């Protein structure tokens, strides 16, 4: 009898003898995997030999780092674990950056690597490397599988761990002889024990009472909205809390989209490049309600001066995050949505508009000028591109995948994200080269969505060979390169903190239009404001990969900026005669 699985694909019946290689794919199919990103090689060849017997789409990448970012983008866009596969040695070491990226941002991916035969393990065999040793600190868990009968249980547990609790990357390293041996395959018998952490705490009535009391006493509360809201699917509950108790919301970078940007209580992004009123509101608050966020140094500024008058309530899944950077008064540990549902019945309605009005007043003149209304000086600014991209895609269901650097911050400031999973970006590790492969993963996961890469000229060149993957897989992907001829964020730091000593930041690039064309993709170069929207439309209308090289102002900087070590309110503000002003509220 055939067993039906989560994606209604028939698995080999229980008791069938399969090779380890076949067991890998049969287990993936059983776990509901439809797409994997990979690169073949010697130690994983038995698995590849069996690939075509199974209903799995394999996307051939150009570098294993790309495979991990694709799996990551796939997971961020869909919420389902992404899968990457590679060979031993260099195949595995090339995955390190992608694993660390997923680890820092709590993204569920499962990476499978081939390993040399168990008979030569430990002998420095050809393409042998200590994969589990290398990846131990950058995975949630990893496995070295040397026996064929351990393949299915390890893989099934890998999915459970990657997606359970606070998600993260899991790596399964499988020796070549384990792939080649035969064993009885039984998907159901290989089911893992329920995932648990021995530190899981309970949310007690007493803690709920404490939190509610602090909320009712607060006069100047602020919600800090993090990635956990998206992970937990708690948008509705967060908005209910904010609306009932009139609490303004500040978002972390990964929290953008967790609540709609257009919501009147949503202030926008906090932190190093957060708008001034957002950071001011946090610094003046008497209560911070931190939801699924971890007080990263990029959002707190100097800890000694962080929100000095505020008591803190932290609702968080991971007990290890409690009081790690910022000491909190009440910690409610658990799934955010479940905790909020337990909390909400006791939360009182607040009618006093004074605090919300005061926060709005903090916006002052910082937000009054719409960049759309600034005279066209002939210069093209990245902010223009972001604003126009937002206007052109706001009505749809677009996913924006950013790289790391200035363009990432401009996107976060000027693109108004309305939905969870509409912004995918490497927040924790800050991985340049992330955007293009992550966007490929997002597009494979959500082919019906409009997916945009937004990358700088530096980061784009770190993984640009994946343009060939876009071409080979015929992906309808739009790619905006914000090209300013510098490693812009580093240049900005050199300008502000290193006396404009632009060492190693001027950047020569290939002709991106011709590069794209060489890969068989459409492309356009844009230098003027008036050309931005037509180019975006052309990309939207084109079926297939489309690259736009936006040649923007070279020495523009991201404002405001909280210098490292400064208090959150000690921002370098936009200059008096700004090149670019903040976009008005949508």
Interface residue list for another protein (CB under 8 A) = 132-133, 136-137, 140-141, 144, 161, 166, 197-199, 318-320, 322-324, 327
Nearer to another protein (CB atom), residue 173 or residue 466: 173
Residue 560: strand, helix, or coil: coil
Cα-based distances in Å from 576 to 275, 416, 573: 16, 25, 9
The string of DSSP letters for 460-501 reads HHHHGGGHHHHHHTT--EEEEEEE-SB-HHHHHHHHHHSTT-
Nearer to another protein (CB atom), residue 325 or residue 540: 325
Q: What is the dihedral of CA 334, 339, 342, 344, to 10 degrees?
A: 170
Nearer to another protein (CB atom), residue 140 or residue 220: 140
Nearer to another protein (CB atom), residue 201 or residue 216: 201
Tell the smallest beta-carbon distance from residue 78 to another protein (Å): 25
Tell the smallest beta-carbon distance from residue 197 to another protein (Å): 5
Q: Are residues 388 and 225 in contact, defined by beta-carbon separation less than 8 angstroms?
A: no
Nearer to another protein (CB atom), residue 199 or residue 503: 199
Tell the smallest beta-carbon distance from residue 137 to another protein (Å): 5
Q: Return the closest-CA partner of residue 410 out of 329, 488, 524, 306.
A: 488
Nearer to another protein (CB atom), residue 318 or residue 531: 318
Q: What is the token pair recorded at 212?
A: 């509610």
Contacts with 444 (C-beta within 8 Å, 6 or more apart), sequence order: 35, 37, 57, 59, 70, 74, 473, 475
Q: Is the peptide bond before 560 cis (omega within 30 degrees of 0)?
A: yes
Nearer to another protein (CB atom), residue 92 or residue 475: 92
Nearer to another protein (CB atom), residue 173 or residue 450: 173
Q: Return the closest-CA partner of residue 452 out of 462, 442, 460.
A: 442
Strands (E), 217-365: 221-225, 249-251, 266-269, 287-291, 311-316, 330-333
Q: What is the token pair recorded at 389?
A: 């991209």
Tell the smallest beta-carbon distance from residue 147 to another protein (Å): 13
The string of DSSP letters for 376-432 reads --S---HHHHHHHHHHHHTTTT-EEEE-SSHHHHHHHHHS---STTSEE---SS--T
Tell the smallest beta-carbon distance from residue 259 to another protein (Å): 28
Q: Are residues 547 and 521 in contact, defined by beta-carbon separation less than 8 angstroms?
A: yes
**DSSP label at residue 325:** S
**DSSP label at residue 353:** -
Buried-state track 501-513, b at ≥16 Cβ within 10 A, e below 16? eeeebebeeeebb
Residues of the chain by 3-state class (helix, strand, coil), percent to 5: 40, 20, 40
The separation between the first and the last C-alpha atoms of the chain, rounded to the nearest angstrom, is 57
Q: Are residues 76 and 421 in contact, defined by beta-carbon separation less than 8 angstroms?
A: yes
Nearer to another protein (CB atom), residue 59 or residue 160: 160
- Residue 497, Cα to own-chain centre: how many angstroms? 29
Q: Supply the residues annotated as catalytic.
A: 64, 126-127, 176, 489
């Amino acid at each position: 009898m055939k067993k039906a699985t989560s994606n209604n694909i028939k698995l080999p019946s229980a008791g069938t003898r399969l090779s380890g290689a076949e067991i890998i794919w049969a287990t993936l199919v059983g776990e509901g995997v439809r797409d994997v990103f990979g690169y073949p090689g010697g130690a994983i060849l038995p698995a590849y030999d069996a690939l075509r017997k199974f209903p799995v789409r394999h996307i051939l990448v150009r570098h294993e780092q790309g495979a991990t970012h694709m799996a990551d983008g796939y997971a961020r866009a869909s919420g389902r674990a992404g899968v990457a596969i590679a060979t031993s040695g260099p195949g595995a070491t090339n995955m390190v950056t992608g694993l660390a990226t997923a680890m820092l941002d709590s993204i569920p991916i499962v990476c499978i690597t081939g390993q040399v035969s168990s008979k030569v393990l430990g002998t420095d065999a050809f393409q042998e490397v200590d994969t589990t040793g290398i990846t131990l600190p950058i995975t949630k868990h990893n496995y070295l599988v040397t026996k064929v009968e351990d393949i299915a249980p390890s893989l099934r547990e890998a999915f459970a761990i990657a997606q359970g609790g606070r998600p993260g990357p899991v790596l399964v390293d499988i020796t070549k002889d384990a792939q080649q041996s035969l064993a009885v395959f039984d998907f159901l018998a290989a089911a893992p024990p329920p995932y648990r952490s021995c530190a899981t705490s309970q949310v007690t009535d007493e803690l709920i009472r404490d939190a509610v009391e602090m909320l009712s006493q607060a006069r100047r509360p602020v919600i800090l909205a993090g990635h956990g809201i998206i992970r937990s699917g708690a948008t509705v509950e967060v908005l209910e809390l904010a609306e009932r108790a009139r609490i303004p919301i500040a978002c972390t970078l990964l929290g953008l989209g967790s609540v709609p940007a257009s919501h009147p209580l949503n202030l926008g992004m906090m932190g190093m490049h957060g708008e001034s009123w957002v950071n001011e509101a946090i610094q003046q608050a008497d209560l911070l309600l931190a939801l699924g966020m971890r007080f990263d140094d990029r959002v707190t500024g100097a800890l000694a001066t962080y929100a000095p008058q505020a008591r803190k309530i932290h609702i968080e899944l991971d007990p290890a995050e409690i009081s790690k950077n910022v000491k909190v008064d009440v910690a409610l540990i658990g799934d955010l949505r479940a905790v909020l549902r337990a909390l909400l019945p006791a939360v009182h309605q607040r009618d006093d508009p004074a605090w919300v009005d005061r926060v709005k007043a903090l916006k002052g003149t910082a937000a009054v000028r719409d960049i759309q209304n600034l005279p066209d000086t002939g210069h093209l600014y990245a902010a223009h591109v972001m604003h126009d991209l937002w206007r052109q895609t706001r009505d749809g269901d677009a996913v924006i995948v950013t790289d790391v650097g200035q363009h990432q911050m401009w996107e976060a400031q000027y693109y108004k994200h309305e939905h969870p999973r509409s912004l995918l970006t490497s927040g924790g590790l800050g991985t340049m080269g992330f955007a293009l492969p992550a966007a490929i993963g997002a597009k494979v996961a959500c082919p019906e969505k409009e997916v945009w890469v937004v990358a700088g000229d530096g980061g784009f060149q770190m993984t640009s060979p994946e343009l060939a993957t876009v071409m080979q897989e015929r992906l309808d992907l739009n790619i905006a390169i914000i090209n300013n001829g510098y490693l812009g964020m580093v240049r900005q730091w050199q300008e502000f903190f290193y006396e404009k000593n632009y060492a190693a930041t001027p950047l020569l690039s290939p002709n991106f239009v011709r590069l794209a064309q060489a890969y068989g993709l459409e492309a356009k170069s844009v230098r003027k404001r008036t050309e931005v929207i037509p180019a975006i439309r052309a990309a939207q209308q084109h079926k297939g990969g489309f690259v736009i090289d936006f040649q923007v102002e070279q020495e523009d900087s991201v404002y405001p900026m909280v210098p490292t070590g400064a208090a959150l309110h000690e921002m370098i503000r936009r200059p008096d005669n700004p090149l670019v002003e903040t976009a008005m509220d949508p």
